[in-house]
Amino acid sequence: MVNARHHVAGTSSPEAVQRWKEILDSLYDAAELINAPDSVVRILEQPQRILEAAVPLRMDDGTIEVFTGWRVHHNTARGPAKGGIRFHPDVDALETTALAAGMTYKTAISHLPFGGGKGGVNCDPTVLSLGELERITRRYTWEMLPLLGPDRDVPAPDVNTDGRVMGWLMDTVSMARGEESAASVTGKPLSIGGSLGHVGATANGVVTSVRAAFTLNNFTFEGSRVAIQGFGKVGGPLAYLLHSAGLRVVSIADVTGAVYNPGGIDVPALGDYVKESSGVAGFPGADTISAEEFWRVKCDVMIPAALALAIDETIAEKLDTKIVVEAANGPTSEAADKVFADRGIPVVPDILANAGGVTASYFEWVQNRQGYPWTGQEVATRLHDNMHTAFEVVHDRAVELDVSMRRAAMAVGVERVAEAIIDRGFRF
């Protein structure tokens, strides 16, 4: 087995270094489980290509600020690169590479004809005006043009980006190419080729995973208690969907704090409150609790739906839950995962549980290429079927290999990517 520790040059945060290490550890483990050729592992342990570019921005006051942007293709053996674009001060090359690698395996597990990509700019969009945000989006897009296109790389929204940003990105690509290019990006507004059912698709996929996990473990779905870390683009819709499905959402945490109601939080009322207050803390329909107390809340399912590495081994030791379903990307550290295994707490991993978003993006890409929009019901039905099939495949592999769902998911992903690499002519 290859043990080289390839890494991406440049300054990286400790969190990014840890994330990349865990991606490699998972790759090596999966390769051993399926007896993948060493040469395939050598291809997958480093990104296929990285484009780094200066992104100058003329501010509203006339001054020039220069940011840095990246677009990473981890592997495109199965199809065009697919992955979001994030605007965040902590974005760097290694974090982007780790996220791109995660997309390689996520799309493979969901059997989508894509490879793994990711992109971002190390800026803080919360301090930019609308005009500045549009200008930095268009400049970033221009710098990344060599990689973009329906058959090359298809970005989507991610942290601090949305449908409006995707619309600017698509328009810039179209102007540069001199032709309409709706299929060059997903997560767009409906008026310019977006898909019904894309908004909230990640949350819908997580609900499917929760239902499948409950059925698998003989848990009662309706009336069960759920705690959710995060109340943003994923956590917010997810809380509403689970509440509507009859679960008791007993606790929710975000950057402002956490709230707890053992009888169940009125999620629609909390949503209205957050629109006015910008956070869950102080919601009158529940008790405000500390972060320490949140991680000790007794629940049937804990769903981390915020940023990476939220659950370390200390938190994993104290969680009072029957199951963990990961809605965020990489929310559980490697050490925490071992704690869950020792405690017998099943974990539905992110590369399976939160694949609803990229699956809906695939549907949008298909509709754009067909020139024929689907109904919302068609999208919802196909999303559920695809997520459920992926869950069953991973579960069956977990039973076959006698390993956790996380290890089985990576085994499925690496196996499918390896098959594509070999079938393209890299026969070892």
Region of residue 315 (left: phi > 0; alpha: psi -120 to 50; beta: else): alpha
The yes-or-no answer on residue 118 being catalytic is: yes
Could you please report the per-residue DSSP string of 96-117? HHHHHHHHHHHHHHTT-S-EEE
Contact assessment for residue 87 and residue 123, using Cβ atoms and an 8 Å cutoff: yes
Sequence-ordered strand ranges (E) for 122-179: 153-157
Contact assessment for residue 182 and residue 366, using Cβ atoms and an 8 Å cutoff: no
Residues 148, 168: Cα–Cα separation, whole Å: 14
Residues 372, 115: Cα–Cα separation, whole Å: 24
> What angle, 0 to 180 degrees and rounded to 10, lies between the N-to-C axes of helices 376-401 and 405-423?
100
Residues 310, 96: Cα–Cα separation, whole Å: 18
> What angle, 0 to 180 degrees and rounded to 10, lies between the N-to-C axes of helices 356-370 and 93-109?
80
CB environment 356-392: b (16+ within 10 A), e (fewer): bbbbbbbbbbebbeeeebbeeeebbebbbebbeebbe
* φ, ψ at 211 (rounded to 5°): -60, -45
Per annotation, catalytic residue among 82, 118, 188, 233: 118
Nearest-5° Cα angle at 217, 401 to 205: 85
DSSP annotation of 149: B
Residues 90, 280: Cα–Cα separation, whole Å: 24
Work out the burial of residue 52: count CB atoms within 10 Å of its CB; fewer than 13 is exposed, 13-18 middle, 19 or more buried: middle
Cα atoms found within 13 Å of the Cα of residue 117, Cβ hemisphere only: 33
CA 233 to chain CA mean position, Å: 11
Which positions are catalytic? 118
